[in-house]
Amino acid sequence: MNDSSTARPTAITDAGGRPGLELRGPGGCVRMTLLGAHVQSWIHPEHGEVLFMSADASYAERAASRGGIPLVFPWFGAHAERKDAPAHGFARIQPFEVAAQGDGPSVTLRLSDTEDTRALWPHAFLAELTVSVAETLAITLAVTNTGDAAFDFEEALHSYFVVGDVHRATVHGLEGVPHVESASAPQESPPDPSEPIGFCAETDRIYQGVPDRIELRARELDRRIELGTRGARSAIVWNPWIAKAAAMSQLQGDEWQQFVCVESANCRENRVSLEPGATHSMELTLRVSSQ
């Protein structure tokens, strides 16, 4: 197993000098940082870079860099009550530690509650993110309630995919699935729910009760990305379009045209309830092929 294309994870630093790991397997090379257990890059042997990272991404010590696969936990979006709490939870700005490393291209990173996390969210937990590179890229987020009272949480693997040209990208598999649109300037006429999702305006939709297979097609790149999930009942489809992109941090000029986020999640009415001692797992497997 230990040839040059399949090896134990190696230590790296990211563009900001922050510690991380590189995993090489038959499905390519994955780079991630320990801050937020953030997968920043996946270079597929035939298709090249699969994940979008902004050229303007910040790699400051505690920055959630825009792009890759940020980890959203334990709340999605803005905190329900606290304006000072970070958007999409605190996990993406917390340093994870290495919990386990295999002989092959697989690693588990872990985060548990600290004084800082309890000040924002008063619960005892263990969050473990396992990343494995085989022919596919597989990511599992397992959350355990290590305290003595039940809690609810939200979670998402907030994947930013390179699509070349968002106008030529479509999402398949969510036809007929109920959704809520929260874009401030969505497309004027509501989309036909029986059609695959296309992009012609700001799109920020939460789909609930989703199937375990969704596909993103990027015609500009002659690429399909299959998202297979287990334990994910929500999906978010997001592109900020022109006006929102212009007002956002860590996004350059026309970069909004280059990506689509398809997020695998459990949020809002599908948030997870965990009893003391219980563990919930959400798995995402990504496969890339030609159209």
Q: Which is nearer to ligand BG6, 155 or 204 (CB)?
A: 204
Residue in 87, 149, 150, 242 binding ligand BG6, rule: CB under 6 A: 87
| Pairwise CA distance, residues 238 & 83, whole Å | 23
- What number of chain residues touch ligand BG6 (CB under 6 A)? 7
Three-state SS for 235? Answer: strand
Q: Which candidate in 158, 202, 255, 283 is catalytic?
A: 158
Q: Which is nearer to ligand BG6, 42 or 207 (CB)?
A: 207
* CB count in 10 Å sphere of residue 29: 17
44 is catalytic: no
The kind and range of the H/E element at 246 are helix 241-247
Q: CA dist 88 to 4, 8, 58, 105, 170, Å?
A: 37, 31, 17, 28, 25
User: What's the min distance (Å) between Cβ of 170 and ligand BG6?
Assistant: 19
Q: Which is nearer to ligand BG6, 106 or 204 (CB)?
A: 204
Q: Does 255 bind ligand BG6 (CB under 6 A)?
A: no
| Pairwise CA distance, residues 75 & 91, whole Å | 9
What are the residues facing 228 on neighbouring strands? 213, 285
Q: CA dist 130 to 24, 37, 78, 146, 283, Å?
A: 15, 9, 26, 19, 9
Q: Does 155 bind ligand BG6 (CB under 6 A)?
A: no
Q: Which is nearer to ligand BG6, 15 or 180 (CB)?
A: 180
Q: Which is nearer to ligand BG6, 75 or 238 (CB)?
A: 238
User: What's the min distance (Å) between Cβ of 276 and ligand BG6?
Assistant: 30
User: What's the min distance (Å) between Cβ of 218 and ligand BG6?
Assistant: 19
Please give the residue whose beta carbon sits closest to ligand BG6 in the complex.
87
Q: Does 88 bind ligand BG6 (CB under 6 A)?
A: yes
Residue in 207, 238, 241, 256 binding ligand BG6, rule: CB under 6 A: 238
The one-letter amino acid code at 163 reads V
Q: Does 204 bind ligand BG6 (CB under 6 A)?
A: yes
CA angle 145, 150, 155 (to 5 degrees): 60
Q: Which is nearer to ligand BG6, 72 or 288 (CB)?
A: 72
User: What's the min distance (Å) between Cβ of 108 and ligand BG6?
Assistant: 24
User: What's the min distance (Å) between Cβ of 3 and ligand BG6?
Assistant: 37
Token readout for 37 is 């257990």
Burial of 178-216, coded b for 16+ CB within 10 Å and e otherwise, reads ebeeebeebeeeebeeeeebebeebbbbbbbebeeebbb
Q: Does 236 bind ligand BG6 (CB under 6 A)?
A: yes
179 is catalytic: no
Q: Does 202 bind ligand BG6 (CB under 6 A)?
A: no
**Within 170-189, which residues bind ligand BG6 (CB under 6 A)?**
none
What are the residues facing 101 on neighbouring strands? 107
Q: Does 271 bind ligand BG6 (CB under 6 A)?
A: no
Q: CA dist 264 to 56, 188, 231, Å?
A: 25, 26, 9
Strands 203-208 and 28-33, bridge-based pairing: unpaired
Residues that bind ligand BG6 (CB under 6 A): 87-88, 158, 204, 236, 238, 263
Query: Known catalytic residues?
Result: 158, 263
